[in-house]
Every structure is written in C-alpha cells, then in structure tokens.
A and B are shown apart, each in its own frame.
Chain A
Amino acid sequence: MVKNPRWIVYSLIFIALLFIPRILSIHDLMLFEYGITFAIVGLGFNLLLGYTGLLSFGHGAYFATGAYTVAMIAKYLPQAYSLEILIPAALFFSMVLSIIFGFVSVRHTKIFFSILTLSLSMLLFALLFKLYHITGGSDGLRVPLPTLFGMSFKGIRRPEFLLGTYYYFLLGMFSVSFLVMKGIVNSPFGKALQAIRDNEVRAELIGIRVRRYRLYAFIISGMFVGLGGALWTFVNGHVTADLSHWVFSGEIVYMTLLGGFGIFEGPIVGAIIFTYLKLYAMGNTQYWMFVIGGTLIVLVLLLPNGIAGAFAGLWTKIKKVIEET
C-alpha cells in the first residue's frame, strides 16, 4: 500500500484537510463542508455511473431519505437525536428505499433505467411535498444541532459547532467513506461491476449474476448518497422536499460529470468545484442558472472527461513526452 505513490498523496491531502479550518474564512469553510458532503454523494453515485454504467436521474431520493431521517427523528424522537444513532438510521432507511426502488429499476438499463429512477424519486418528492402535516411540505423542516456520544452542544451557536467539532466529524466520515469505496471498487465485486459495464453479455457468460450485482451496486450507492444527505442536513440546518426533485438529482449527475466519472477521485473534485461554482454564480448574478447550464453544455461538448479526467489526460501526455526525451 505504501509503495503506491497515490497513498502518499492521499495522506498529504488528509493532513492538509486537518488544518483547513485555520486557513479558510467562515463562509468558505461552510461551503467546503457542503462540498465534502457532496463528495460522499459523488463517491456513491459514481459506483453506479462510472463503475456499473447505469445513469440514475433519481439519486436525490436517497439524499432526501438521509436528510429526512435526521429531520423526522429531530421532530418525533428528540431523545434519540444523537449523531451515533442518526447516521446508522440514515444508512438503514436509505438502504431500505434503495432496495425497493433498486429492485424495480435494475431490471432495465440505459435510458429506461434513467427515466425509471427519475419517476421513482418523483414519487418520493410527491409524498414529501403533499403530506405536509408530517413532512412540512414545501416549507420543509428545521434541524437542530445534534448531540454526539452524550456531548451536548446546547450552549454553542451553529457556526461554532459547524466550524469546530462537526468539521472533524465530517472529515472522519468522508475518510471512512473514501476508504470503503476504494475497497469496494478494487474488490472482486468492484471488478465484476466493471466487467458488467464493459460487456454485459460477456459478464453474464463468465458467471456474474448481472442483475443481482447491479442491485447490490444500487444499494451501496444509495446508502452512500443517504449518508451524504444526512451529513448535509446538519450543515444546511433545514430540509425541503426539493431534495427529492429530479432537478436536484440532475445536479448530482452534473457534479460527477464535472469532476469526471472515469476516475475514482473525479466526483470528489467535481462536488467541491460545483459547490463553489453554484454559490458564486448565485451570489453574483440573478441569472445563475444560465451560468451553470452554460457551463454544463460547454463541459459536455468540450471536456467530456471532466476536470479530473482532463488533468489525468494531460498528465499521461506529459509522462509520455518525458519518457520519449
């Protein structure tokens, strides 16, 4: 493991991340925390898109599940409102939902899969939106600060909590997610998914149970996204039904493509850049959708491998030139 220079870079980045709260301003750090939660989402989403070759346009549903698990427990079970209960609960409920939705969806591939996942996420949206006396409808629900292993943050204001303890908690969750996902994609299971992506018929003939593996990938992916959603909730402090809307799912696809779904680290880069891009566009112009949409079109037309992909391509070219000389 240590022989691979990649792991040295990872460790260096991790150490740098530990010191980030001292460098960034409060506003930028908040944005960075949004970015980290979306990075977890991107990691999970890319297991399905980049490694299994299935494009879901409804992953907002699992994000919303994670987020609403937190918000509902805050509202109906306040005595259980503690991070060590909330995170497993969010993982559990997003698992349940992705088993149900995944079971229906993985019977299809390509565009059918995309439309189906989109419709199913809109079913959840419609429920969250219409059952407003339970879910808060379009007003959504407010989320208070959680406790952690009996530590209470009662006297602490939200920004202080987010900039202190919570940043390190988030970083820990991100590192664990990163390592787990790295393990998954390099495991025989992960290789089998890639075989399915590259050639479904061949994978079937080797003896891989294609549909079942797709379902497993779907569930794991949904759980990562649910975890991201739950962690995001504390940063945002507020959840609305829009999280399950397909436009939000589209943004998840967007950030994955922005970073590049052909590369393991791509979605992480994409998530962080997208967060800054969106908030700066929103802060500086009334027509931020024009900026975001235009960027997406340029990206699709000119930079199909995403930012990380472009850098990786550049790096191989440079290596080639160095080797030749």
Chain B
Amino acid sequence: MWVIYTLNGLYFAALLFLISLGLNIILGVMGILNLAHGSLYAIGAFIAAWIVITLGTKVPPFFLYVSLLSGLVGVAIVGFLMEKSLIRFMYKRTLEYQLLLTFGALMLLEDVIKMIWGGQAYYASAPFELLGKVDIWGHVYPTYFLFVMFIALIAGLCIWLFMSKTKLGIMLRAISLDREMATGLGLDITGLSTFAFVLGSGLAGLAGALVVPTTPALLGFGHEPLILGFIVVVVGGLGSLKGALVGSLLVGFTRSFGIAVFPEIELPLLFLIAGIILVVKPEGLFGR
C-alpha cells in the first residue's frame, strides 16, 4: 500500500504546486495575497468540465486532453479582466485594503459561478476513464494521476526556465526583489504586474481543469485548495518558487499518509506542522 500512498502524495503535491506557484508569483511580484485564488481555480474547473462535457464523444480522445487547457486560457482571461478592473488600483494602497478587495472579489466570483453554472455538480470523467489503469509493482493505479503529475512537472519546468532564462522572467524577479529599484531602472511595472497576475491565475485555472476529471466541480470547490495553498506558501516561504515545490511535497505527503494512518486529524496535523515550522523558522523554509 505504501507505493499507492507515495503516488497519492505526489499527485496531491502536483496539484498544490500549480496552485501555490500561482499564489506565489502574484505575491512575489505584486505583493498582494490573492484571496480569490481559490475561486479562480474553481472557475478553471467549471470551464474545463463544461467544455469536456460539451465535446463529449464527438472528438477524438486526444482533443479532450487538449481541451483541459481551456481552464488555463479561460481563467487567464478572467485574471486579466480582474487585474485591469480591480487589482491595479491596489498597488499603492495599504495591506488591509488589498486583502479586503480580493476578499470582495472572492465573494463576487463565488456568486458569478453560481449564476453561470448553477448549483449542480459538473462531472467530466471522460479524460480520467479513457486512460485506464496501470500496474505499478503489483498495485493498480489510475494513469490519469500520473498524467497530472507529468503536466505539473512540465509546467514547473517551464516556469523555472522562464523565470531564470528569459528576459521577461528576469524582469519579474527583479520586481519581486526590489520594486523601487526596478521602477528606477525603467521597467514597465504596470504591464509586468498584469502579466504576473494573468500567469498566476492561469496556473490556478490549469490546476482546476486537471482536477475536474477526478472530482465533480461543485459550489465552494476552491475553498480547500486555497487554504492548502496558503499552508504551502507559509511553509515554503512567501514568494519563493523553490519553497512552493518543497512545501507542496510536504503538504502532499502529509495529506496522503495522514489520510491513510489517522484520517480524523489529517487536516489539523497539517496546520500543526505548518505551525511548528513557523515557530522554528518564522520566514518559512525558503523565505527571505
């Protein structure tokens, strides 16, 4: 059974990594903690589920997997609109306004989801079932979970390459390191902030789209991922990409083994571990 728990841990970690990576990019570049991040994840799930259900059996299976990308694209657009209409006014405001604005956006988006997709569950299991199951050391395991891990790995590598090798990525890191200095160097802060928000939102949307073949999209779908994303960010260190990776793995494995060994206190245990790490190392594992 330990093989399965390990794989499940990796699967949780993969999803959390996508979510917390988005949170962390937004936090690092813009200094804003996006409380509506969970809702963006939920919107990604609903868009992807809706498209997969609509396409159904009309297209070859390969396109179903491509259509999961609609979550990424759709939420990136939502993120763009959100940044242009609300978030951009918040850069010079104090913390309480920034947080409350995203809190307002969270409530707004929850009801927008309710208006568009109603209260019923969207279940798009076709991509999950089509892949079937594989045999790993005598244990049967759904191939789709491996697919999700693979996608998260690719996305993580892309972001890492982007952040360390491309000019745009280096500019983003410059802003997160020293905003004032970056402004002084003449970087287009407004444009880059918009880009960072769109990128972070897109990653949340992708995570939502990847989840929806395994669990039906419901109202309040984004609540738990948001909280787990927070734990990852707190444990890994605010604004650190390496922290997001290590934090996701830690939370993912704690969840997977916690569910297996003591299901009742799996969630409190997670917060307890986060609390202990913070007492010992207040800035998080890789915080500055």
The interface residues of chain B lying within 8 Å CB-to-CB of A115 are: 33, 230, 233-234, 238
Query: Which residue of chain A lies nearest to B32 when distances are taken between CB atoms in the complex?
Result: A111
Contacts of B111 in A (CB 8 A): 287-290, 293
CB <8 Å contact, B275 and A293: no
The answer to whether B114 has its CB under 8 Å from any CB of chain A is yes
Other A-B pairs, 18, CB within 8 Å; known A108-B282, A116-B234, A257-B96: A57-B99, A104-B278, A115-B33, A115-B233, A119-B230, A122-B230, A123-B268, A123-B271, A127-B265, A131-B265, A253-B100, A289-B110, A293-B104, A293-B108, A293-B110, A296-B100, A297-B108, A301-B86
The residue of chain B having its C-beta at the shortest distance from the C-beta of A109 within the complex is B95
Majority SS of interface residues in chain A? helix
> In the bound complex, what is the Cα–Cα distance between A291 and B158 (angstroms)?
39
A55 interface neighbour in B95, B105, B106, B275, Cβ under 8 Å = B95
Give, as a whole number of angstroms, the nearest-CB distance from B107 to chain A.
3
Interface residues of B in 31-59 (CB under 8 A from A): 31, 33, 35
Q: Quick check: B279 and A246 within 8 Å, CB to CB?
A: no
A119 touches B100 (CB 8 A): no
Residue of B93, B97, B104, B268 with most partner-chain A CB within 10 A: B104
What are 8 A-B contacts with C-beta separation under 8 Å?
A55-B96, A111-B95, A119-B230, A123-B268, A130-B264, A289-B107, A297-B105, A300-B97
B112 near A290: Cβ-Cβ < 8 Å: yes
Tally chain B residues at the interface, Cβ within 8 Å.
44
Q: Tell me if A250 counts as interface (CB < 8 A to partner B).
A: yes
Residues from chain A with a CB closer than 8 A to the CB of B1 are none
Instruction: Check B96–A123 contact: CB distance below 8 A.
Output: no
- Compute how far the CA of A73 lies from the CA of B170 in the bound complex, rounded to whole angstroms: 58
Report B228 CB to chain A, min CB distance, Å: 10
Residues in A whose Cβ lies below 8 Å from that of B100: 250, 253-254, 257, 296, 300
A112 to B230, CA, bound (A): 11
Name the A residues within 8 Å of B21 (CB-CB). Answer: none
* B146 within 8 Å of A (CB atoms): no
Question: Cβ of A114 < 8 Å from any Cβ of B?
Answer: yes
Chain B residue contacts of A246, Cβ below 8 A? 227
Nearest chain B CB to A264 CB, angstrom units? 17
Which residues of A approach B to under 8 Å, CB–CB? Answer: 49, 55, 57, 104, 107-108, 110-112, 114-116, 118-120, 122-123, 126-127, 129-131, 246, 250, 253-254, 257, 261, 286-290, 292-297, 300-301, 304
Which residues of chain B come closer than 8 Å to A295, judged between CB atoms? 104
Choose among B27, B100, B230 the residue with the greatest number of A CB atoms under 10 Å from its CB: B100
Task: Collect the chain A residues with CB atoms within 8 Å of residue B274's CB.
Answer: 119
Q: How far is the CA of A293 from the CA of B231 in the complex (A)?
A: 25
How far is the CB of B221 from the nearest CB of chain A, in Å? 15
B189 interfacial by beta-carbon distance below 8 Å: no
Asked if B103 is at the interface of the complex by the 8 Å CB criterion, the answer is yes
Q: Which residue of B lies closest to A261 (CB)?
A: B96
B115 on the A face (CB < 8 A): yes
Q: Which residue of A lies closest to B231 (CB)?
A: A119
**CA separation between A115 and B32, bound complex, in Å?**
12
Indicate whether B272 reaches chain A with its CB closer than 8 angstroms.
Answer: yes
Shortest A227–chain B CB gap in Å is 23
4 A-B pairs closest in CB distance: A293-B107, A296-B104, A123-B271, A290-B111
CB distance from A123 to the nearest CB of B (A): 4
Q: How far is the CB of A139 from chain B (nearest CB, A)?
A: 16
A123 (CB) vs chain B CBs: closest residue? B271
Given the known inter-chain contacts A123-B268, A123-B271, A300-B97, please indicate yes or no for A116 contacting B107, CB distance below 8 A. no
Query: Contact between A126 and B267 (Cβ–Cβ < 8 Å)?
Result: yes
Q: Mark interface residues in B111-122 (1 if CB within 8 Å of A CB, else 0).
A: 110110000000
* B243, chain A: closest CB distance, angstroms: 13
